[in-house]
Amino acid sequence: MQYDVVVVGAGPVGATAARYAALNGASVLLIEEHTSVGSPVGCTGLLSTRAISECDVKPTNDIVLNLVRGAHVYSPNGNCLPIDGGKTKAYVVSRKMFDRKLVTMAVDAGVDVSIKTRAIGLNRTKRLQELLVLQNGVPNTITANVIIGADGVRSNIAKMAGLGNVQKVLSGIQIEAPYTSNDADFVELFMGSQAPGFFGWTVPVSETISRIGLAVPTGNESHAIQYLNILLNSNKEIFERCYGGVLDIVYGGIPLGPQSKTVADGVLIVGDAAGQVKPTSGGGVYTGAACAKIAGEVAASSAIEEDASVNRLNEYDKRWRAKLGRELNLGMKIHEFIGGLSDNDLDELLGSMNTPAILDLITEYGDMDRPSILMKKMLSPTNSWQMMNVFWAFAKAVL
Ligand SMILES: Cc1cc2nc3c(=O)[nH]c(=O)nc-3n(C[C@H](O)[C@H](O)[C@H](O)COP(=O)(O)OP(=O)(O)OC[C@H]3O[C@@H](n4cnc5c(N)ncnc54)[C@H](O)[C@@H]3O)c2cc1C
């Protein structure tokens, strides 16, 4: 088998990269180790309206389960900061159906797909790459000009290409369970020591079912389970409305902080494999899809030019960093800052934001994909007087 481009991993990012490579004239194979696209699910499925449109998907009823317009952010002391976006800001989706839609779109663009095909080895040169796979358990070799590693948080392609590691991996765990929502238009976020270093969440699938989870920066799954048990049994908001029964369990790693190198001779990595995830929320579909389009375009043109050298592929690294690098770096700083606050600091910080003027600013400029827009507005001289209390809480927290 010989292709211009082979994409490893049929998640949303791999499917998008494969589609874009095909749309740019390359012959493309997309391989997936599992026997089924979109399964097992490792995601809450909360996608901003921008994420869905970045993937070129229409929010149809087969994919979208619920609409979300804001968040109720709970301080460790139980006080609630109500953030109302005023209109639909995000969709709760079936990731299985969403991933399948993206792979179907790739097939429509001319991509060949091979499931139950696992990449196990790689021999690289500046022109042709040999990808060793187990296809239905049988060893095979696929030749390609360019390999795109979209193989998720524990990317083997990144390792085989000698690329480094993401800066940090969080352990995420979530159940889907019967849960009486106060308002199914709002997600709930729980800050502080109940999910230290990140946050806990409930995301309503409907008025009576929610996805309830958290992530903690340990890389230790059993640690995350312990925290989830505490959240379910000790958090007053959740305990009173989660009345037993688990419909589904999801767990997975969330990579934060992009790789310092995302290209090597013959290889580029994208999505979770490259750490292209928003550090403030752990969401990787929007950022991954935006980078996947660039990866697909650059892989196709490099393959057609028969130049898969790291210098040629570096165009991808430069372009995705120009588009999202600043936002991800700022997000990482916000993540580290919030993660370092004590429960008291968080109570004070969130309490100081609970004023009509600041909530109006958040409604107008809050953007779950680009926190820098709100940060800039909050720090502008015309608004900074409203921020005095917040600054005070920040200052006290860092002193
Ligand atoms: C608990 C949790 C909740 C989350 N919630 C959200 C959310 O609400 N919104 C959001 O935007 N993001 C969320 N994320 C992050 C999101 O799931 C990822 O960022 C996104 O799935 C990344 O897509 P991807 O295609 O890069 O990787 P993946 O979706 O992980 O896909 C990688 C694919 O590669 C395949 N693969 C791996 N190795 C090989 C191999 N050697 N050969 C062949 N195939 C291989 C895997 O089977 C998999 O199908 C969450 C993550 C977790 C863990």
Give per-residue pLDDT as tens, 211-269.
Answer: 999 999 875 556 899 999 999 999 999 999 998 899 999 999 999 999 999 999 999 99
What does the alpha-carbon distance between residue 238 and residue 175 come to, in Å, rounded to a whole number? Answer: 13
Measured at the CA of 42, the angle between CA 85 and CA 179, to 5 degrees, comes to: 55
Same domain membership, residue 246 and residue 178: yes
CA of 11 to the centre of ligand 1 (A): 6
d(CA 92, CA 56): 17
Residue 332 maps to a domain: no
CB 166 within 8 A of CB 275: yes
Q: pLDDT, tens digit, for every residue of 285-314? A: 999 999 999 999 999 999 999 999 999 999
Residues 161 and 121 in one domain: yes
Distance 154 CA to ligand 1 centre (A): 10
Q: Is residue 127 part of a domain?
A: yes
Atom of ligand 1 nearest to the CA of 13: 25
Same domain for 356 and 207: no
Q: What pLDDT was estimated at residue 357?
A: 80
Share of the chain above pLDDT 70, in %: 93
Neighbouring CB atoms inside 10 A of 94's CB total: 17
pLDDT classification of 389: cutoffs 50, 70, 90: low
Nearest residue (CA) to ligand 1, atom 4: 43
250 C-alpha to center of ligand 1: Å? 12
Q: 336-350: per-residue pLDDT in tens?
A: 988 989 999 999 989
Q: Which atom of ligand 1 is nearest to the CA of 156?
A: 41
- Do 274 and 230 fall within a single domain? no
CATH number for the domain spanning 186: value is 3.30.9.10
- As given in the structure block, the two tokens for residue 161 are 């290409």
| Separation of CA 229 and ligand 1 centre (Å) | 24
Domain of residue 277 covers 2-42+96-166+259-325
At residue 379 the predicted structure's pLDDT band, cuts being 50, 70 and 90, is low
Question: In terms of domains, do 154 and 86 share one?
Answer: no
Q: Which residue's CA is the nearest one to ligand 1's atom 9?
A: 283
Which of 44, 120, 221 to mutate for ligand 1's pocket (most ligand atoms within 8 Å of CB)? 44
Q: Whose CA is nearest to atom 33 of ligand 1?
A: 9
Residue list, ligand 1 pocket, CB within 6 Å: 8-14, 31-34, 42-47, 118-119, 150-152, 156, 172, 174, 213, 250, 252, 254, 271-272, 277, 282-285, 288
Q: Specify if 85 maps to a domain.
A: yes
Quote the number of domains for the chain.
3
Residues 210, 73 share a domain:
yes
Residue 8 pLDDT greater than 50, yes or no: yes
pLDDT, position 380: 64
Residue 11 Ramachandran class (φ > 0 left, ψ -120 to 50 alpha, else beta): beta
Average pLDDT for the chain:
91
Measured CA distances, 133 to 4, 34, 119, 177, 259 (Å): 17, 13, 4, 38, 25
